[in-house]
Amino acid sequence: MSTTSLVTVERDGHLAIVTIQRPDKLNALNPTVLRELTQAFQALIDAPAPSEVRAAVLTGAGRAFVAGADIAEMAAMNSVEARRFAELGHRLCALIEDAPFPVIAAVNGAALGGGCELALACDFIHAAEGAKLGQPEVNLGVIPGFGGTQRLTRRIGPGRARELIYTGDMITAEQAHALGLVNAVHPAADLLSRVRDIALKIASRGPLAVAAAKRVILRGEGTDLVSANELEAQAFATLFGSEDQKAGMKAFLEKGKATFTGK
């Protein structure tokens, strides 16, 4: 396990579990937390073979995932400082979104404001019963600053996203599931083990294929269907030059289990 003052990273083979460790402040995001999370994810991305990460889980210590940005610190910011703070959040969220491995948000409690935005940067979200999600920034006289206006709209559609952002309402994990914001809701005691199982399953699949699928889905969201399908066809063909493709198909034909090397 690697640890900074506010972030821990637990490794289990090709799986990494990243935990925000600021429970006394409900894991509220300030510049230090954002920088330490960025450093943690960059280190996971840069991990060399054979210790490379193939799936990651992001969660929070204590009662919250991330209750939001640290309002006490934000209240004193001027426009220049606020822009720098937003850039830190955008950099972290882009890093998670572009990581060559899936990142699953295990929302164990409140995921509000910057916390909801952090979860949205992950590939998908599982939540505990009793968790709350939302973008309540308008209650503070501001708007989401870490990509919430864009990623929430892409996740649940513009009409529903507008309503949540304009009202600043919080919703339950069950409501978020009904909207498609959350993939599944679990009893709080089971959340991390359920998400860990899914992450380990992903980590056992062909890592080049999973990374390609993530890349094509992400890039395809911002383009037309014809161009997106061309991205898919190119990625599909490229994988036929990999050792993983040969191992996977050979194992299938021989009714065995493939061992993927990421080559």
By annotation, the residues acting in catalysis are 117, 137
Dig out the tokens for 39 from the structure: 């450093």
Long-range contacts of range 165-171, CB-CB < 8 Å, 24 or more positions apart? Answer: 165/135, 165/137, 165/138, 166/138, 167/138, 168/134, 168/135, 168/136, 168/137, 168/138, 168/139, 169/134, 169/136, 170/112, 170/132, 170/133, 170/134, 170/136, 171/132, 171/133, 171/134
Q: How far is residue 35's CA from residue 85's CA, in Å, rounded to a whole number? A: 10
C-alpha R_g of the chain: 19
